[in-house]
Amino acid sequence: MAPLTSRIDLATSPVRDLNAKLHTGSLEAVEVLNPQGKHAVAVGLRHPVTVDIHGHVGYYCAGMNDGGTVTVHGSAGTGLAENMMSGTVRVTGDASQSAGATAHGGLILIEGSASMRCGISMKGVDIVVGGDIGPMSAFMAQAGRLVVCGDAGEALGDSIYEARLYVRGRVASLGADCVEKEMRPEHLAEVAELLASADLAHDPSEFRRYGSARALYHFAAGNSAAY
């Protein structure tokens, strides 16, 4: 029987072998050494395994995660936790573009900043970013919550559906059909809960809420200039 814990060095083992071991469901915890920016590390997890990656990763780390707890002790490239279904993904550094793209569930924690298109087409995931996010973040975001402790780039929430966005800092501009909304007690509680999950101590009252004006749900001739 395979051991419950394992240490895998990507300087000597291929990523394909690492992922194959993670997919067996026989491991409870795995330490990954020397990722050296390799792509597709810890993708497709389907079991409640804990994966600690010591170093920077490339594209699509923890993509399609469904139940795993993945921590990147470093920064991550494009498509972090893309299409994640459940579980937790934490990055202690920064994340490149499209973090959490199309993710359906679970929690993504980025302690640093995230580049453009953070949360693009998110479908139920919760994302907490300790720093800033880039332009076109939460584009066509359908469901879920995005908490940003720093600033947001241009066109935040463009063509947004029912995702809820909370930003503590400055918003460069809002995208089509995205508007600022009232922060009610339930929203303050929601932000407090998400900040606690990320071990962040910001005051929820410092955040502003953004969401859909619901003007683009159906085509209307009077809104034709907005399409």
DSSP-assigned states of every residue in 107-176: EEEESS-B-TTTTTT-EEEEEEESS-B-TTTTTT--EEEEEESS-B-TTBTTT--S-EEEESS-BS-B-T
- What is the per-residue burial (b if ≥16 Cβ within 10 Å, else e) of 16-31? eebeebbeeeebeebe
Range of the domain at 160: 113-216
Same domain, 103 and 184: no
The identity of residue 118, as a single letter, is C
Same domain, 77 and 148: no
| 222: in domain | no
- Rounded Cα distance between 100 and 106, Å, is 10
Q: What is the DSSP letter of 47?
A: S
What is the model's pLDDT at position 142?
Answer: 96
| 225: in domain | no
What is the model's pLDDT at position 218?
Answer: 66
- Rounded Cα distance between 93 and 91, Å, is 5
Residue 223 has pLDDT above 80, yes or no: no
| 32: in domain | yes
Torsion of CA 187, 190, 194, 199, to 10 degrees: 90
| 69: in domain | yes
Last residue of a domain, one of 88, 111, 134: 111
Same domain, 130 and 140: yes
What is the model's pLDDT at position 5?
Answer: 75
Last residue of a domain, one of 111, 131, 148: 111
- Could you report the per-residue pLDDT of 157-182, keeping only the tens digit for each? 999 999 999 999 999 999 999 999 99
| Structure tokens given for 223 | 């809104």
**Across residues 46-66, what is the average pLDDT?**
97
- Rounded Cα distance between 126 and 128, Å, is 7
Same domain, 137 and 199: yes
Give percent of the chain above pLDDT 70. Answer: 93
Residue 90 has pLDDT above 80, yes or no: yes
Confidence of residue 1 (pLDDT cuts 50, 70, 90): very low
Domain count, the chain: 2
| Structure tokens given for 191 | 């932000």
Same domain, 6 and 99: yes
| Structure tokens given for 59 | 């594209």
